[in-house]
Amino acid sequence: MRSLFDLYYGRGSEEFETNESFQMIFSCWALLGIKPLKPYGFFRSLHVAFGWICLFMGPVVFVVGFMQVMQNSSMTVILTTLQATLNALGLPLKTFAAYFYIDRLRSVEPIFKSLDGRYQKPQERFAIRDNVIQSVHLFVTLLVSYYAYCTVSWLTSIITHTQPLNIWLPFVDLIPHPTMHFWLHFLIEVVYLYFLLTTQCMNDLYPAVYIKALRTHITLLAERVSRLGENPELTDEDNYLELIDCVRSHQELLQISKAVGSVFSITIFIQFTIAAAILCVCMLNLFLFADASHRAITIVYYGCLLVQTSLTCYQASMLEAESVKLPNAIFHCNWWNMDKRSRRVLIYFLHRAQQEIAFVAVKFFKINLGTFLSIAKFSFTLYTFMNQMGVGENIKHRLD
């Protein structure tokens, strides 16, 4: 197993495998206690139990904290807390769905390993290596951007001497000494936020990484199909066997897309359902209520929220576009140099290759950039409606 730095910089004498793209995600899930490690033991079971308790306590501490904030805080602080609370409500559900179907995610690893073995040319191995490196770059970039939100939040809180998100910590709140209460609450809240953000990052990242791996193998398969019938040294039987292997590769890719799509369609559906509301709250806070410090927090949070939904939608849209290349490659291959048996298989293959590789969020929303833009448009429309109705000004007037 390569280290993070070896994966990031593409170092190592051994050839890269597609399954290494998922290595850091499963390692993070194990570190957070989401996925138990073998061999099972008391301390590892305790680690997992602690992780899941922290995860499912998230909605409780955020909702109670939000209710407390509503009683004695400004609208800026209320909206800043609300936008994080809405996201925290869906986090345990998304994580549980990923964990419940984790065997489906692991079941595609032997298929990817088999597919990797069919590409031994230098440019093909480089494409697989490049996919792994880009996936790790994506992992690091997304994690840094999420941590940036938390860092900006607690730095601003230190300056203003407030709590980052005012979550409810029942035992800490019983401490009578004000200074000790503040700093202990602050420390626990910051550590807890980093835990939740890491979990959120993995939930948002793994669909994009799996789709990106599919994109790589669709492209490799299209290039392989385009070379059918070009080598004059191959016999008709050799061309036929190569064609059959291409058909098998395509069937395996469809099998992978079906397995992983059934997992992250649930998590993406949960994210879609809350994204529009959160985006609307962010814009309401940003343009009407936020002061300079909370405006900085809201801008960073808004960017992270866009990444949550756009990352997977972008990869899914690119997969749809690149899957069109496969039937084009079949049509433009040197089929006239192949025998009648191979041509019949090519017709079947051409028909099957026209099946679109697309993902649907629980049969409601198609996962692509079109849906992402629709959600962003809906949130902006909702904000515009509330603004024109004077909701924000009425709230400001009542507060004054």
The amino acid present at 212, given as its one-letter code, is K
The amino acid present at 144, given as its one-letter code, is V
The reply to whether the predicted model has a pTM over 0.75 is yes
Q: In this structure, what are the phi and psi dihedrals at residue 365, rounded to the nearest 5 degrees?
A: -120, 135
pLDDT of residue 399: 46
pLDDT digits (tens, 9 = 90+) for 218-236: 999 999 988 888 878 878 8
Surface-to-core class of residue 315, CB atoms within 10 Å of its CB (0-12 exposed, 13-18 middle, 19+ buried): buried
In angstroms, the CA 96 to CA 2 distance is 28
pLDDT of residue 389: 64
pLDDT digits (tens, 9 = 90+) for 14-55: 889 999 999 899 999 988 888 877 777 778 888 888 989 999
Each residue's pLDDT expressed in tens, for the chain with a length of 400 residues: 788 888 888 887 788 999 999 989 999 998 888 887 777 777 888 888 898 999 999 889 988 888 888 777 777 777 778 878 888 888 898 899 888 888 899 999 999 999 999 998 899 999 999 999 999 999 999 899 889 888 888 888 888 888 888 888 888 877 888 888 889 989 999 999 999 999 999 998 999 999 999 999 999 999 998 888 887 887 888 888 888 999 999 999 999 999 998 888 888 888 888 877 777 777 777 766 666 666 777 777 777 777 778 888 999 999 988 888 888 888 888 877 788 888 888 888 888 888 888 888 877 788 888 888 887 777 777 667 666 666 555 555 554 4
Tokens at 302, concatenated: 């808004």
